[in-house]
Chains A and B, each alone.
Chain A
Amino acid sequence: DTEVTQTPKHLVMGMTNKKSLKCEQHMGHRAMYWYKQKAKKPPELMFVYSYEKLSINESVPSRFSPECPNSSLLNLHLHALQPEDSALYLCASSRQVNTGELFFGEGSRLTVL
Chain B
Amino acid sequence: KQEVTQIPAALSVPEGENLVLNCSFTDSAIYNLQWFRQDPGKGLTSLLLIQSSQREQTSGRLNASLDKSSGRSTLYIAASQPGDSATYLCAVGRFGNEKLTFGTGTRLTIIP
| Partner-B contacts on A (CB < 8 A) | 4, 6, 41-43, 45, 48, 50, 55-56, 58, 88, 90, 92, 97-107, 109
**Do B100 and A102 touch across chains, with their CB atoms under 8 A apart?**
yes
**Do A56 and B45 touch across chains, with their CB atoms under 8 A apart?**
no
| Cross-interface CB contact of B43 among A41, A48, A100, A106, cutoff 8 Å | A106
B83 adjacent to chain A (CB < 8 Å):
no
Inside 8 A of A90's CB, which chain B residues have their CB? 43-44
- Size of the B side of the interface (Cβ < 8 Å), in residues, is 22
**Do A104 and B103 touch across chains, with their CB atoms under 8 A apart?**
no
**Do A43 and B102 touch across chains, with their CB atoms under 8 A apart?**
yes
**Do A102 and B41 touch across chains, with their CB atoms under 8 A apart?**
no
| Partner-A contacts on B (CB < 8 A) | 31-32, 34, 36, 41-46, 49, 89, 91, 93, 97-100, 102-105
Inside 8 A of B45's CB, which chain A residues have their CB? 104
Name the CB-closest residue of B to A88: B41
Q: Which of the listed residues B41, B44, B49 has the most CB atoms from chain A within 10 Å of its own CB? A: B44
Inside 8 A of B31's CB, which chain A residues have their CB? 98-99
Inside 8 A of A101's CB, which chain B residues have their CB? 34, 46, 49
Name the CB-closest residue of B to A33: B100
Tell me, rounded to whole Å, the shortest Cβ–Cβ distance linking A76 to chain B.
15
Inside 8 A of A103's CB, which chain B residues have their CB? 46
Tell me, rounded to whole Å, the shortest Cβ–Cβ distance linking B109 to chain A.
15
Inside 8 A of A107's CB, which chain B residues have their CB? 41-43
